[in-house]
């Protein structure tokens, strides 16, 4: 009967092949040739997952060299078909000019319990081995996973979301459209909030809003680098760059106005505006800054605080191509350019866009 089934396949008489195969499987369900032709039949009728499962099972369970060879060929055909379909889908996903804009795909964290199931799905979608897939999926904080044409990122992102792997994507252009105001000080806080701030062209003015408009607070530390002289292992003097301090930043998001209010410790004028702390003029900047954050916590108790900037930055700092296109809106004195500033604005902008969507 095996020969008859093989002849039916050669003649592409799949109806006859199916009829003969049904009888053979009833008589000898564990017959490896019967299992092989069942996989072939699944493949013909585009039931690729069932076909792949049987091919892989045959590779584990049989020693017949002919079956092993044909099972491997079957898997190769399935992979080639999948690759061709994937390429066609990506071409279609990037057909419109707006789909070719530079974008970024972000993975959101998964618990270890969910990771076990998600790893297999992630590996299949992104064509990775299981070990690499598990290392790639984040457990804490967001992770910059891929950059490129936003249409392609959307193609992958939608598959990941359907597989219950949390992620999102956006274009760099959308992040750049967010207005950023540098806050000098709070002038009023009740019933309306008024801040004195400068806009992106450094014009000084004021902005009035309700506390209820703030949807997120984003805090982060940006390293301050200095060149120092030190001795190497041989005692020879050498110059090297080290982190000497950190600048503290806090962004308040106002999505209804398409704006971010940006505060930082050395840029906030603690002696101006409303009195947040009576001893502001006598305190250190660090104490005043902590008091300011405590005050904002009291005013915005229900607003989520995003504080995982540093681990996120470590996933994106080496992506110079994309960070070089991002205007940081951070005005720290830098002897040399650094990707940290653009990384913070990217982090804050991604949160802004995710909340807005």
CATH number of residue 69's parent domain: 1.25.40.10
One domain for residues 118 and 208: no
Report the mean per-residue pLDDT for the chain: 89
The pLDDT, as a whole number, for residue 243 is 76
Final residue in a domain of this structure, among 49, 70, 92: 92
One domain for residues 115 and 78: no
One domain for residues 301 and 213: yes
- Tell me: pLDDT of 233 over 70: no
Q: pLDDT band for 163, please (50, 70, 90 cuts).
A: very high
Residue range 194-225, pLDDT digits in tens: 999 999 999 999 999 999 999 999 999 999 98
If one counts the domains in the chain, the total is 3
Higher pLDDT, 163 or 18: 163
Final residue in a domain of this structure, among 157, 174, 191: 174
One domain for residues 6 and 78: yes
One domain for residues 199 and 236: yes
- Tell me: pLDDT of 264 over 70: yes
User: What CATH number does the domain containing 146 carry?
Assistant: 3.30.1390.10
The pLDDT, as a whole number, for residue 334 is 86
- The single-letter DSSP state of residue 124 is H
Q: pLDDT band for 122, please (50, 70, 90 cuts).
A: very high
Provide mean pLDDT across the span 122-147. 92
One domain for residues 107 and 120: yes
The pLDDT, as a whole number, for residue 237 is 60
d(CA 23, CA 27): 6
One domain for residues 113 and 196: no
Domain-located, residue 236: yes
One domain for residues 202 and 238: yes
The pLDDT, as a whole number, for residue 229 is 60
One domain for residues 149 and 227: no
Cβ neighbors of 227 (< 8 A, separation 6 or more) are 239, 240, 241, 335
State the residue range of the domain holding 224: 179-305
Least confident residue range of 21-30, 63-72, 258-267 = 21-30
- Tell me: pLDDT of 79 over 90: no
One domain for residues 192 and 210: yes
Provide mean pLDDT across the span 282-292. 90
One domain for residues 165 and 240: no
One domain for residues 139 and 41: no
Final residue in a domain of this structure, among 110, 140, 174: 174
Provide mean pLDDT across the span 103-116. 92
Tokens 């790639």 belong to residue: 136
């Amino acid at each position: 009967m095996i020969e008859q089934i093989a002849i039916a396949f050669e003649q592409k008489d799949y109806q006859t092949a199916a009829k003969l195969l049904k009888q053979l499987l009833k008589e000898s369900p564990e017959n490896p040739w019967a299992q092989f032709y069942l996989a072939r039949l699944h493949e013909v009728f585009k039931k690729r997952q069932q076909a792949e499962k049987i091919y892989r099972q045959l590779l584990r369970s049989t020693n017949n060299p002919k079956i092993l060879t044909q099972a491997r060929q079957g898997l190769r055909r399935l992979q080639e078909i999948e690759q061709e379909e994937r390429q066609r889908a990506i071409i279609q996903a990037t057909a419109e000019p707006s789909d070719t804009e530079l974008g970024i795909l972000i993975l959101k964290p998964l618990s270890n319990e969910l990771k076990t199931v998600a790893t297999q799905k992630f590996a299949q979608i992104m064509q990775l081995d299981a070990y690499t897939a598990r290392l790639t999926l984040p457990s804490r904080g967001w992770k910059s996973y891929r950059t490129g044409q936003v249409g392609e990122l959307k193609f992958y992102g939608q598959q990941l979301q359907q597989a219950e792997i949390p992620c999102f994507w956006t274009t760099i252009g959308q992040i750049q459209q967010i207005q950023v105001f540098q806050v000098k000080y709070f002038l009023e806080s009740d019933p309306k909030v008024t801040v004195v701030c400068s806009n992106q062209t450094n014009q000084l003015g004021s902005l009035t809003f309700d506390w209820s408009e703030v949807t997120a607070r984003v805090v982060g530390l940006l390293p301050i680098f200095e060149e120092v002289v030190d001795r190497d292992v041989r005692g020879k003097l050498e110059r090297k760059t080290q982190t000497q301090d950190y600048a503290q930043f806090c962004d308040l998001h106002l999505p209804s106005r398409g704006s971010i209010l940006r505060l930082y410790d050395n840029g906030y004028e603690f002696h101006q505006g409303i009195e947040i702390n009576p001893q502001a003029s006598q305190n250190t900047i660090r104490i005043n800054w902590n008091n300011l954050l405590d005050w904002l916590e009291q005013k915005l108790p229900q607003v989520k605080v995003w504080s995982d900037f540093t681990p996120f930055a470590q996933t994106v700092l080496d992506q110079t191509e994309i960070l070089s296109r991002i205007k940081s809106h951070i005005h720290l004195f830098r002897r040399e350019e650094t990707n940290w500033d653009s990384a913070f604005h990217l982090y804050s902008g991604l949160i802004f866009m995710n909340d807005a969507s």
